[in-house]
Structure 1
Amino acid sequence: MKKALLIVDVQNDFCPGGALGVKEGDKVVSVINSIIDKFDFVISSQDWHPEESIHFEKWPPHCIANTYGADFHPALNTEKIGLKLQKGTANKDDGYSAFEATNVSFSDFLRKNNITNLYVCGLATDYCVKASALDAINHGIHTFVITDAIKPVNVYPGDDKKALDEMYRNGCVLVESNALEA
């Protein structure tokens, strides 16, 4: 049984001061760095939008490919990341889920590497974390969401709680980082 950590979109534009900054989004970095060595594989996703995207009809322009905003938060330990998934790369692609990556098939990677347990963390609880976790469940992967290593956008108050409830109802296990085994 192999386990992988999926770090969802811990990018400059999603952290405080970024184009679509998540309140306290940078707080997930220290938690992620403290658990990263507990996994057989470490995978990251990145929003990687073109300059012109229908996605920007819903959201301010953010995480434009090859810009500072699309880079990982500078304090995130990226040395252990063995696979980087880029999503939202097409003009007509929102790319909320890591399974929508266009540079690599995430589901093929999980299958080829016999990954049975996926631990999801990052930004944002109510969008990309939720979409990635639910897609993992739909692909038959035992999925855990690390609740102290995620932060929400909360466009509407309570969106984070609704997202956690939906993930739980669909089979995700909600866990805190201090409960993870080495």
Structure 2
Amino acid sequence: MTRALIIVDVQNDFCEGGSLAVDGGADLASLLSDFIDEQGGEFDHIVATQDWHIDPGAHFSQTPDFLHSWPVHCVADSKGSRFHPDLDTENVGAVFRKGQFEAAYSGFEGVLAPEDEVPTGEQKLGALAEGSTEDPVTLDDWLREREVDEVAVVGLATDFCVKATALDAVAAGYTTSVLVRYTRGVHPDGVETTLEELEEAGVELVE
């Protein structure tokens, strides 16, 4: 089995002090860094996703319902869109940006960031170098090219982008797990329902 760890949206705006903070987000960034340091060798690849919004339409709202609409967050090239500084990205091999012009909860809706940019550095919009005529590389493209057949999903938030990424992974045929300890949810009351939905879809829940 070729395994990949998918780190979902551990970004400044989703951690304490950000515009759409998830309770425990900053702590999770540190926990993930420790986890990668101790157990990262169990994975053949480590990748990460970023919300990367330009004009996502009704996804942004001045009167958000926190289910389908949200305060402005993770605007492309902003401080809020960058990875939280407590997340060690040294071993992240690829970053996939999603939601430029739509909501895009799943990492499988993202496209590959330029390869010559480090995850925490200044990042350009898009998946390819300026002037390139190649098609954007999706997360699914990248994983299949490396013959990945098993993925583990961690990050923010359990009941939205982690859930969507895991559901898309299992639907695409990957053996999929969610490492529950390394996720945090937006709505605590909804996390249990989310975990039940994931398990019913064939996602393994690892406590």
Conserved in 1, the CA contact under 8 Å of 2:159 and 2:190? yes
Q: Name 1:117's counterpart in structure 2.
A: 150
Structure 1 unaligned runs (5+)? 177-182
Residue aligned with 1:146, SS: strand
> Deviations along 1:7-52, whole A, 9 cap, x unmatched?
0000000001110000111121232112322311110000000156
Residue aligned with 1:115, SS: coil
> Deviations along 1:127-171, whole A, 9 cap, x unmatched?
0000000000000000110111000000xx511111111111101
Equivalent in 146, 150, 161 of residue 192 of structure 2: 161
Conserved in 1, the CA contact under 8 Å of 2:56 and 2:99? no
Moved more, 49-58 or 64-73: 49-58
Conserved in 1, the CA contact under 8 Å of 2:4 and 2:152? yes
- In the alignment of these two chains, the number of paired residues is 172
Q: Name 2:94's counterpart in structure 1.
A: 83
Over the aligned positions, Cα root-mean-square deviation in angstroms equals: 1.2
Q: Name 2:14's counterpart in structure 1.
A: 14
Structure 2 unaligned runs (5+)? 62-68, 112-126, 128-136
Q: Name 1:179's counterpart in structure 2.
A: none
Q: Name 1:68's counterpart in structure 2.
A: 79
Residue aligned with 2:149, SS: strand
Residue aligned with 1:158, SS: helix
Equivalent in 99, 103, 115 of residue 94 of structure 1: 103
Equivalent in 46, 50, 54 of residue 50 of structure 2: 46
Equivalent in 173, 183, 186 of residue 140 of structure 1: 173
Q: CA deviation at 1:110?
A: 1.2
- Alpha-carbon distance in structure 2 between the residues aligned to 1:52 and 1:88: 7
- Alpha-carbon distance in structure 2 between the residues aligned to 1:109 and 1:119: 15
Q: Which runs of 4+ in 1 moved over 4 A?
A: none
Question: 2:205 aligned with 1:174, yes or no?
Answer: yes
Q: CA deviation at 1:87?
A: 0.3
